[in-house]
Chain A
Amino acid sequence: MGATVFFGCTFVAFGPAFSLFLLTVAGDPLRVIILVAGAFFWLVSLLLASLIWFISVQLSNREDSRLQYGLLVFGAAVSVLLQEAFRFAYFKLLKKADEGLATLSEDGQSPISLKQMAYVSGLSFGIISGVFSVINILADSIGPGIVGIHGDSPYYFITSAFLTMAVVFLHTFWGVIFFDACERRRYWSLALVVASHLVTSGLTFLNPWYQASLIPIYIITISMGVWAFFTAGGSLHNVLACLSCKQEEDNRVMVYSALQVPVED
């Protein structure tokens, strides 16, 4: 009955990503392009990171298991730094593209706001890194067996799926915060994003001690989510307004929102 576990884990890992893509990205061609390009940037960063790790393993003594473990940690850290570097490169590229888009458009305004671009690029990083971290596990979950014959936790599949879900969310939030921080030159925010990414990556080394990795990662995810919410313009007042808002108010705000010109620095 491997299909049950497979679909269960797939829905857990990619359910949120799928609904976000379907409802907020798929309808707009420009966002789809940004999503695909973002995924490409992430892939290139992964390629470079794996090259660095591969070369370091080749050059080192492969019998020394402690050294190899150290190299793996090093590789993960390099990968995190490269991902953030490529996020920055992607930000620069999108800024350039945004200028081009603005000159092309009839009213001289870009058809997409920087915050929207930040969100879509973050989601793209999240989706592609989620796919890469969990796809081989999902492939093996189709078989009849579960992990555990060598004493590993039998909850391996479901915890991997939840971890992937957290990674998708985290990348989305990091994208929003990172772009905003670049825009406003708030370097401490950038540092915090990179640091939390490094911590998250490091926490996965605690696996298979899942309580020790999953719970902190979810705490980080929730706090990043709150931060990203405020960065994106949310506030407690808005939440309350949203929960109590009425239909006619909606329509008015919708019109207002559609007419709103994105603020550009």
Chain B
Amino acid sequence: MYPLKVMLIISSVTYPELGIPSIFHPNFTELHPRLKSSLFRLGFCWGNSVERKIYIPLNKTAPCVRLLNATHQIGCQSSMNGDTGVIHVVEKDQDLKWVLTDGPHPPYMVLLEGELFTRELMLQLKGSSRISGLAVAISKPSPAQGFSPGLKCPNDGFGVYSNNYGPQYAHCNWTCYQDHNLPQNGSVPEYPLCAMQLFAHMHAVTNTVTCMRRSSLQTAFSLNPEEVCDALSDYNVWSTLKPINTSSKIDPMDEVIIVATRIDSHSFFWNVAPGAESAVASFVTHLAAAEALHKVPDVQTLPRNIMFTFFQGETFDYIGSSRMVYDMQMDKFPIRLDNIHSFLELSQVALRNSSVLWMHTDPVSQRNESIQPQIKTLVEALINGSTGANVTLQEVSQSQPLPPSSFQRFLRAKSIPGVVLADHRTSFQNRYYQSMYDTAENILMKYPEGLSPEETLDYVTDTAKSLAEVATVVARALYQLAGGTGNTSAIQADPRTVSRMLYGFLIKTNNSWFQSIIKQDLKGLLGDELPQHYIAVTTLVNTTQLVQYVLANLTGTVVNFTKEECLNPEKTPSPEKEMYVYTWVQGSRDPNSTSRVPFCVQSTVHLTKAASPAFELKQWGSTEYSTWTESRWKDIRARIFLVASKELEIITLVVGIAILILSLLATYFINAKAHVLFSSPGDAGAVAY
């Protein structure tokens, strides 16, 4: 059958500063165990084509696709016509032996339980020619039961980066597998066996340099260019506490404090990136802090401005932050690097051990005499902010390098005082970093049972309370850093807002609050499925837009504009129109009627491109900037069916050939003797010449 095309190339999503090795990726497709829904009803002879008698397509699959950078490719690949193998469910290590050595029907398509899907196992499988592919079945709580916390993650000590593993695997209704592939009474299963075919052929190969060159050749010479890969890109979201004029540069003497978080995540599988701890909890905290600060009465008179920055594509070698730094250096951004007073980044903050939040600083800057006092001020402001709050701030040892953070991109350009806040000291608390299991359960969000969606939206979980504490600390510290002299204890982040945001970004974007704060024509970006935060190659992914609208809603003000004025603010006489962005949102549903009450929001929320400068400069082999691209593909699907034994196939062919030869001989003989055979008196040969 089809040989396994093993695409096992070391990923370069590594963190050199922590010296962590990366993951291997073999042929892969993830599979939802929702077979029942895809089972076809057996109808009558018409409309019941032969193909439906043979194949069951698996609709809800999430593939692992190929991603490339300047030097390597990661991800998965199938042969052009798909890879086929006999399904074998691997539940324990003994099953592996069957697949790798004992089983009599290779090649096998390994179906793994989610928790077995580890790097060690991948390494075992990758060299075998007896494996044609791999599928992972994960159990997800069904929407009907709400977001049940019934799935417990095992608590044994897995290393931080050791890859995905997680919830208990619910046995799905694999009737095909159970009926055909499970050994009966201890004997080896007989044909026909249940098999699976995976199609995930990727067009791009080798690395970004190769695929971009091929794409550019195509666009240059072909009328129908068929590009093979696309750069990962999207938009950064940012806003400022005090409005600035984005069409010009701010004054060189102005000082700006940057607060930053990432808003994207990633996992082994394409567009499966829940990123609860790695992104959502952090940017939700950030948004809550922004809201708390905007509520303070004297913020508009503070000596320093604060910029809230949400970077997109940070997972892929800091696409968003490197682009913003590049724009600042190229004078394409209203704020210059020299305007930056200090930098505060929220890394992963949701999983704190006894509410300790660690302040990471750059050891190189610490040795710089002009920067060191400013870092000290920053640290002191944070510690001051935490008084009275249930958060203990601690510094890590000054020799320890920074964790992976956007701040590093700024440090590369200029020595800036900065602190990265994280819930971990040396290694991540997050055991599901960039994993499909980095879901709401991972940050211990628990809802009591029996809540309606509306009640769930507003239910304040312990996670929300603790994140609100962090947001409070951040907001107070920022107020102080910006030169605020008022009483900081009045600054308080709202746990209810945090709850709503967590619900919206982790569980269901299609909730009444999100509905009320977006533009009417963007209703399509709200959905009932779990929100994913993958950057993708299409611009303006859902996460970016939602962060934009939530930020505008939390930090903006409602202005009394008509729809016309709101959509065309340049026509209004308002003197501040240069400084603000106006959004016409659809508003919440009027309780007494079905219509909504739209209104105009004035905010300072802006979007700027988060595309790696490497593609701007056409330096596809850049080592300075991110070069991640995503391969294109034509067809990603999977189907299951029965395969016959080789013997039955050979018998069919032999019978066919025998009948052909026999009929040729018989026809020849009868034709030659037709005159004798069909020669009754007075009758001529019917078949003879």
List residues of A whose CB falls within 8 A of some B CB: 1, 4-5, 7-12, 15-16, 18-20, 22-24, 27-28, 65, 68-69, 72, 113, 115-116, 118-119, 136-137, 139-140, 143-150, 152, 154, 156-158, 161, 165, 176, 229, 232-235, 238-239, 241-242, 245, 250, 253-254, 256-258, 260-263
Contact of A20 among B662, B667, B677 (CB under 8 A): B667
Q: Do A9 and B652 touch (CB < 8 A)?
A: yes
Query: Which candidate, B243-251, B551-559, B643-651, is the interface stretch facing chain A?
Result: B643-651
**What is the CA–CA distance of A11 and B664 in the complex, to the nearest angstrom?**
11
Which of B239-266 touch A at CB < 8 Å?
Answer: none
Q: Do B652 and A158 touch (CB < 8 A)?
A: yes
Q: Do B655 and A12 touch (CB < 8 A)?
A: yes
Q: A241-B676, A242-B673 are in contact. Are A69 and B654 (CB under 8 A)?
A: no
Judge if B686 is at the interface, Cβ distance under 8 Å: yes
Q: Do B675 and A149 touch (CB < 8 A)?
A: no
Q: Do B655 and A8 touch (CB < 8 A)?
A: yes
**What is the CA–CA distance of A257 and B655 in the complex, to the nearest angstrom?**
36
**What is the CA–CA distance of A241 and B675 in the complex, to the nearest angstrom?**
11
**What is the CA–CA distance of A10 and B657 in the complex, to the nearest angstrom?**
9
Q: Do A150 and B686 touch (CB < 8 A)?
A: no
5 contacts between A and B (CB under 8 A): A16-B659, A115-B685, A137-B50, A140-B50, A146-B54
Which of B15-51 touch A at CB < 8 Å?
Answer: 40, 42-46, 49-51
Mostly helix, strand, loop or mixed at chain A's interface?
Answer: helix
Q: Do B676 and A238 touch (CB < 8 A)?
A: yes
Q: What chain A residues lie within 8 Å of B53 (beta carbons)?
A: 147-150, 152, 156
Q: Do B673 and A23 touch (CB < 8 A)?
A: no
Q: A144-B197, A145-B641, A146-B642 are in contact. Are A136 and B49 (CB under 8 A)?
A: yes
Which residue of chain A lies nearest to B661 when distances are taken between CB atoms in the complex?
A15
Q: How many Å from the CB of A241 to the closest CB on chain B?
A: 5
Contact of A11 among B641, B660, B679, B682 (CB under 8 A): B660
Judge if B121 is at the interface, Cβ distance under 8 Å: no
Contact of B659 among A15, A139, A149 (CB under 8 A): A15
Q: How many Å from the CB of A258 to the closest CB on chain B?
A: 8
Q: What chain B residues lie within 8 Å of A116 (beta carbons)?
A: 686-687
Q: How many Å from the CB of B133 to the closest CB on chain A?
A: 13
Q: Do A263 and B684 touch (CB < 8 A)?
A: yes
Contact of B667 among A24, A118, A136 (CB under 8 A): A24
Q: Do B679 and A8 touch (CB < 8 A)?
A: no
Q: Do B56 and A257 touch (CB < 8 A)?
A: no
Q: Do B650 and A4 touch (CB < 8 A)?
A: yes
Q: A16-B659, A65-B44, A72-B45 are in contact. Are A148 and B654 (CB under 8 A)?
A: no
Q: What chain A residues lie within 8 Å of B663 (beta carbons)?
A: 15-16, 18-20
Q: A11-B656, A238-B676 are in contact. Are A68 and B44 (CB under 8 A)?
A: yes
Which residue of chain B lies nearest to A165 when distances are taken between CB atoms in the complex?
B659
Q: Do B1 and A150 touch (CB < 8 A)?
A: no
Q: A8-B655, A15-B659 are in contact. Are A233 and B680 (CB under 8 A)?
A: yes
Q: Do A235 and B653 touch (CB < 8 A)?
A: no
Which residue of chain B lies nearest to A204 when distances are taken between CB atoms in the complex?
B45
**What is the CA–CA distance of A146 and B659 in the complex, to the nearest angstrom?**
22
Q: Do A19 and B687 touch (CB < 8 A)?
A: no
Q: A20-B667, A232-B686 are in contact. Are A147 and B659 (CB under 8 A)?
A: no
Q: How many Å from the CB of B199 to the closest CB on chain A?
A: 12
Q: How many Å from the CB of B655 to the closest CB on chain A?
A: 6
Contact of A233 among B639, B642, B667, B679 (CB under 8 A): B679
Q: What chain A residues lie within 8 Å of B153 (beta carbons)?
A: none
Q: How many Å from the CB of B51 to the closest CB on chain A?
A: 5
Q: Do A233 and B49 touch (CB < 8 A)?
A: no
Which residue of chain B lies nearest to A147 when distances are taken between CB atoms in the complex?
B53
Q: Do A154 and B660 touch (CB < 8 A)?
A: no
Q: What chain A residues lie within 8 Å of B666 (beta carbons)?
A: 19
Which residue of chain B lies nearest to A28 when distances are taken between CB atoms in the complex?
B689
Residue interface bits B223-238, CB-to-A below 8 A is 1, else 0: 0000000000000000
**What is the CA–CA distance of A156 and B49 in the complex, to the nearest angstrom?**
13
Count of chain B residues with Cβ under 8 Å from any Cβ of A?
61
Judge if B375 is at the interface, Cβ distance under 8 Å: no
Which residue of chain A lies nearest to B653 when distances are taken between CB atoms in the complex?
A8
Interface centre among B195, B650, B687 (most CB of A within 10 A): B687
**What is the CA–CA distance of A183 and B301 in the complex, to the nearest angstrom?**
112
Q: What chain B residues lie within 8 Å of A22 (beta carbons)?
A: 664, 667
Q: How many Å from the CB of B42 to the closest CB on chain A?
A: 6
Contact of A145 among B55, B646, B652, B676 (CB under 8 A): B55
Which residue of chain B lies nearest to A158 when distances are taken between CB atoms in the complex?
B652
Q: How many Å from the CB of A170 to the closest CB on chain B?
A: 15
Judge if B671 is at the interface, Cβ distance under 8 Å: yes
Judge if B98 is at the interface, Cβ distance under 8 Å: no
Judge if B172 is at the interface, Cβ distance under 8 Å: no
Residue interface bits B186-211, CB-to-A below 8 A is 1, else 0: 00000010110100000000000000
Q: A11-B659, A233-B683 are in contact. Are A4 and B671 (CB under 8 A)?
A: no
Q: What chain A residues lie within 8 Å of B194 (beta carbons)?
A: 149
Which residue of chain B lies nearest to A155 when distances are taken between CB atoms in the complex?
B648
**What is the CA–CA distance of A116 and B654 in the complex, to the nearest angstrom?**
33
Interface centre among A8, A72, A147 (most CB of B within 10 A): A8
Judge if B13 is at the interface, Cβ distance under 8 Å: no
Which of B82-124 touch A at CB < 8 Å?
Answer: 84
Q: Do B44 and A140 touch (CB < 8 A)?
A: no
Interface centre among A1, A176, A256, A262 (most CB of B within 10 A): A1
Judge if B346 is at the interface, Cβ distance under 8 Å: no
Judge if B668 is at the interface, Cβ distance under 8 Å: yes
Q: Do B653 and A245 touch (CB < 8 A)?
A: no
Q: A158-B652, A232-B686 are in contact. Are A147 and B54 (CB under 8 A)?
A: yes
Q: What chain B residues lie within 8 Å of A119 (beta carbons)?
A: 686-687
**What is the CA–CA distance of A228 and B683 in the complex, to the nearest angstrom?**
14
Q: What chain B residues lie within 8 Å of A158 (beta carbons)?
A: 652, 655
Q: How many Å from the CB of A252 to the closest CB on chain B?
A: 10
Q: What chain A residues lie within 8 Å of B468 (beta carbons)?
A: none
Q: How many Å from the CB of B635 to the closest CB on chain A?
A: 15
Q: Do B652 and A8 touch (CB < 8 A)?
A: yes
Q: Do B686 and A176 touch (CB < 8 A)?
A: yes
Judge if B280 is at the interface, Cβ distance under 8 Å: no
Q: Do B54 and A245 touch (CB < 8 A)?
A: no
Residue interface bits B49-68, CB-to-A below 8 A is 1, else 0: 11101111000000000000
Which residue of chain A lies nearest to B681 when distances are taken between CB atoms in the complex?
A233
**What is the CA–CA distance of A158 and B687 in the complex, to the nearest angstrom?**
30
Contact of A118 among B654, B657, B686 (CB under 8 A): B686
Q: How many Å from the CB of A115 to the closest CB on chain B?
A: 4
Which residue of chain A lies nearest to B639 when distances are taken between CB atoms in the complex?
A145
Q: How many Å from the CB of A184 to the closest CB on chain B?
A: 12
Q: What chain A residues lie within 8 Å of B650 (beta carbons)?
A: 4
Q: Do B46 and A72 touch (CB < 8 A)?
A: yes
Q: How many Å from the CB of B112 to the closest CB on chain A?
A: 22
**What is the CA–CA distance of A165 and B650 in the complex, to the nearest angstrom?**
20
Task: Using A15-B656, A116-B687 as known contacts, list a sample of 13 further A-B pairs with CB atoms less than 8 Å apart, ordered by residue number in A.
Answer: A7-B653, A12-B659, A15-B663, A15-B664, A18-B660, A24-B671, A115-B685, A161-B656, A165-B659, A229-B677, A242-B677, A256-B675, A261-B684
Judge if B522 is at the interface, Cβ distance under 8 Å: no
Q: How many Å from the CB of A34 to the closest CB on chain B?
A: 13
Judge if B535 is at the interface, Cβ distance under 8 Å: no
Judge if B607 is at the interface, Cβ distance under 8 Å: no
**What is the CA–CA distance of A29 and B181 in the complex, to the nearest angstrom?**
55
**What is the CA–CA distance of A1 and B56 in the complex, to the nearest angstrom?**
19
Which of B544-578 touch A at CB < 8 Å?
Answer: none
Q: A11-B659, A15-B659, A241-B676 are in contact. Are A149 and B684 (CB under 8 A)?
A: no
